[in-house]
Chains A and B, each alone.
Chain A
Amino acid sequence: MMGSVAKTLLDKVWDLHTVRELPSGQTQLFIGLHLVHEVTSPQGFQMLVDADLPVLFPQRTFATVDHIVPTDGHARPLADPLAERMFSALERNVHKHEIDFFPIGSGAQGIVHVIGPELGLTWPGMTIACGDSHTSTHGAFGAVAFGIGTSQVRDVLATQCLALERPRVRRIRVSGALGFGVYAKDVILHIIRTLGVKGGVGYAYEYAGPVVEAFSLEERLTLCNMSIEGGARVGYVNPDEKTFEYLRGRRFAPQGEDFERAVVWWRSMASGPDAEFADTVEIEGARVPPAVTWGINPGQAVGVDEKLPTLSELDSSGRASAEEAYQFMDLKPGQPIRGTPIDVAFIGSCTNGRLSDLREAARVARGRRVASSVRALVVPGSEEVKRQAEAEGLHEVFIQAGFQWRDPGCSMCLAMNPDKLIGREICASSSNRNFRGRQGSPTGRTLLMSPAMVAAAAVEGSVADVRELLQ
């Protein structure tokens, strides 16, 4: 066995959680924490019933409701009968299988990737699975976290394991420091633009370097969240003192002497100084601009000062996608992104629906007014985020500026609830995907950016440079 100084966190976690090697050559990997929500679990629970099997580790399974909940009042039954049916199915399943559930009004409900860290469920050195591609978010704590499909949800419910192939590890080192008005969202959009939306397939991304070390845990969550947009199923940051301090005292975190022992172990799980990586990518922090996507995948992004690429500037592999994007978005190569008019502003999601995101957006919104042509929503990531934001008075800043202050949920990130774009509306969004139709209208358009940039676009009525509004 290799000495731990030469192993990456991914390898340490993988080796520790390996149950056995399967005849297929894959690893049977134990999953330490299983997070469940209403959209991708009901069929999984049904498959369990069909196989006459129990949930093997109900005490390692936690559930909430996030994707389908309305954000303008949570009264039951939900107005959408299909959503209500999904909600009730989850309630029945968690009751039957004795799974901890954080329902609406519990004070702990929210987007699954917001509440896991917030409740202290997400720990370094753990394996985590959830039927949602943004499960990579939890890697911010030095966990190895996988997005899975529903058959794999069944596998984890029944066996607490997954059959997986070990990914290679790419180290992405962000050096120096970020410029003024540049956020974690801009860093991950820059990484995806640099390495491509398929660049991470088969890899886990280890984010490192001075910029990542300087990030708060909430910023690291944003960074790891969009690993999958770069093709990497897993993204993580090595745990450090900030990680441990974040966890101290949280509801499900180890308490007292257990916590001190946990810290010793958590620290030992970080990549060793001589760890070997499949490759290393250097990103210069000072060169990361406030980013805006202009196309239909998250790699199609530019700095807010830049002009949209001409087709001849793109390599042959990107040209066809770009042509399709320009046609769909009704944008022109060579035009500046800045000044592009918007109809909707959305602040929220598992990418950017945390307290620090709302604080940064509120800094921009304070004392300003949302442009009259813009419909603007702020959707806190969880009931706890909402409570804390209200305790700071952020809701009043937003409401006075003309934003709607909503209840927690996934909302307009994927529009499974009533929050949708209409027709050809164009939305400045702090979410993670600009796919065609993603925000609920088949012809609706999305420009991804940081929450502060969304607030800037909301008040200007068009894509704006947040650095000018922050001065």
Chain B
Amino acid sequence: MSELERIERRSGPGIVVRGDDIDTDRIIPARYMRSITFSGLEEHVFADARRQADGTPKDHPFNDERFERASILVVNRGFGCGSSREHAPQALMRWGIRAIVGESFGEIFFGNCIAIGLMAATAARDDVAALMDAIELDPSQPVTVDLAAMTVSSRAGSVPISLPEGARRQLLDGTWEAMRTLLEGLDAIQATAARLPYLTGF
């Protein structure tokens, strides 16, 4: 297991994927989940949005060399709705994404991001729009997501972000990899099991 990593700030070039309700099937189509590991998923992130059936590239930010070093992804509403597949945030992170800022997220996708240490936070619609415009105008500028200050900053300015306090604390405290924290309560786990009527024969 990796060492406890506190995640307070992510900074790097941005990349913009516009559109509402971009589901996890779109982020990673199911046919690329036929594997017993997550390795190599980065090659297939947004596969069908990036390539024609014959393999020729389509116009897509993840094909655009201006964004090839990006680590901060900016999206619109309902990003990551649908399937619970962790393959979606895994594919994004393995491609190089370290933080996602959007108007809203699918709930399971958001939880999966935090569980793998991929920062995710929401911002107001107008602020996201301005951030998207700024990144597209100058993709080389650093974008910084800061969970202490609760802001996302670019040359367009610094605007507030939001995320559930529990998730924020997990990242800041380095407890986002929940298993070890949960195991610390081993006695309490056994005590809970012992009081559940359906585990003790009612």
Q: Per-residue CB proximity of A125-163 to B under 8 Å, as 1/0?
A: 110000111010000000000011111101100111111
Most buried by B among A89, A159, A258, A414: A159
| A314 proximal to B (CB < 8 A) | no
Whether A24 touches B166, Cβ cut-off 8 Å, given contacts A297-B21, A321-B21, A437-B48, is yes
A135 to B19, CA, bound (A): 27
Q: Pick the contact of A25 from B33, B87, B169 — CB < 8 Å?
A: B169
Q: Per-residue CB proximity of A355-372 to B under 8 Å, as 1/0?
A: 000000000000000000
Q: Per-residue CB proximity of B41-85 to A under 8 Å, as 1/0?
A: 000000110000100000000000000000000000110011111
Inside 8 A of A30's CB, which chain B residues have their CB? 189, 192-193, 196
Inside 8 A of B19's CB, which chain A residues have their CB? 320, 324
Which residues between 305 and 362 of chain A lie within 8 Å of chain B, taking CB atoms?
317, 320-321, 324
- Which partner residue on chain B sits nearest A81 by CB separation? B34
- Which partner residue on chain A sits nearest B105 by CB separation? A201
A134 to B95, CA, bound (A): 27
A258 to B202, CA, bound (A): 7
Inside 8 A of A403's CB, which chain B residues have their CB? none
How many residue pairs between the two chains, A and B, have CB atoms under 8 Å in the bound complex?
A: 222
- Which partner residue on chain A sits nearest B20 by CB separation? A321
A320 to B21, CA, bound (A): 10
Contact indicator B188/A437 (Cβ below 8 Å): no
Contact indicator B182/A161 (Cβ below 8 Å): yes
Q: How far is the CB of B97 from chain A (nearest CB, A)?
A: 16
Inside 8 A of B197's CB, which chain A residues have their CB? 125, 262, 265
- Which partner residue on chain B sits nearest A321 by CB separation? B20
Contact indicator A198/B81 (Cβ below 8 Å): yes
Which residues between 147 and 204 of chain A lie within 8 Å of chain B, taking CB atoms?
147-152, 154-155, 158-163, 165, 197-198, 201-202
| A5 proximal to B (CB < 8 A) | no
Inside 8 A of A470's CB, which chain B residues have their CB? none
A131 to B108, CA, bound (A): 10
Inside 8 A of A317's CB, which chain B residues have their CB? 20, 77
Contact indicator B164/A201 (Cβ below 8 Å): no
Stretch in contact with the other chain, from A35-43, A104-112, A374-382, A384-392: A35-43
Q: Pick the contact of A442 from B36, B53, B186, B195 — CB < 8 Å?
A: B53
Contact indicator A24/B48 (Cβ below 8 Å): no
Q: Pick the contact of A415 from B31, B86, B166 — CB < 8 Å?
A: B31
Contact indicator A297/B23 (Cβ below 8 Å): yes
Which residues between 1 and 32 of chain B lie within 8 Å of chain A, taking CB atoms?
1, 19-21, 23, 25-26, 29-31
- Which partner residue on chain A sits nearest B37 by CB separation? A43
- Size of A's binding interface in residues, CB under 8 A: 85
Contact indicator B201/A258 (Cβ below 8 Å): yes
Q: Pick the contact of A436 from B20, B48, B111, B185 — CB < 8 Å?
A: B48
Contact indicator A149/B34 (Cβ below 8 Å): no
| A86 proximal to B (CB < 8 A) | yes
Q: Per-residue CB proximity of B147-183 to A under 8 Å, as 1/0?
A: 0000000000000000011110110010101110111
| A461 proximal to B (CB < 8 A) | no
Q: How far is the CB of B180 from chain A (nearest CB, A)?
A: 8
- Which partner residue on chain B sits nearest A259 by CB separation? B202
| A28 proximal to B (CB < 8 A) | yes
A50 to B177, CA, bound (A): 14
Chain A interface residues (CB < 8 Å from chain B)? 16-20, 22-26, 28, 30, 32, 39-40, 42-43, 46-47, 50-51, 53, 56-57, 60, 68, 80, 82-83, 85-86, 89, 123, 125-126, 131-133, 135, 147-152, 154-155, 158-163, 165, 197-198, 201-202, 228, 231, 233, 254, 258, 261-262, 264-265, 296-297, 317, 320-321, 324, 414-416, 423, 433, 435-438, 440, 442-443
Please list 27 pairs of residues, one from A and one from B, whose beta carbons are closer than 8 Å in the complex, sorted by A's number. Answer: A19-B185, A19-B192, A20-B188, A24-B175, A25-B165, A28-B188, A40-B85, A42-B36, A43-B36, A51-B1, A86-B35, A86-B36, A125-B198, A131-B86, A147-B108, A149-B85, A149-B111, A158-B182, A159-B185, A159-B189, A165-B166, A201-B104, A228-B108, A254-B201, A265-B197, A321-B20, A416-B31
Q: Can you list the 4 inter-chain pairs with the closest CB atoms, starting with the nearest?
A: A149-B86, A149-B112, A442-B48, A42-B36
Beyond the given pairs A25-B166, A201-B106, 16 more chain A to chain B contacts, judged by CB atoms under 8 angstroms and listed by A's residue number, are A26-B166, A28-B189, A43-B36, A43-B86, A131-B84, A150-B38, A151-B86, A155-B182, A198-B21, A231-B106, A264-B202, A414-B30, A416-B30, A438-B25, A440-B30, A442-B47
Chain B interface residues (CB < 8 Å from chain A)? 1, 19-21, 23, 25-26, 29-31, 33-38, 47-48, 53, 77-78, 81-87, 89, 104, 106-108, 111-112, 115-116, 164-167, 169-170, 173, 175, 177-179, 181-183, 185-186, 188-189, 191-193, 195-199, 201-202
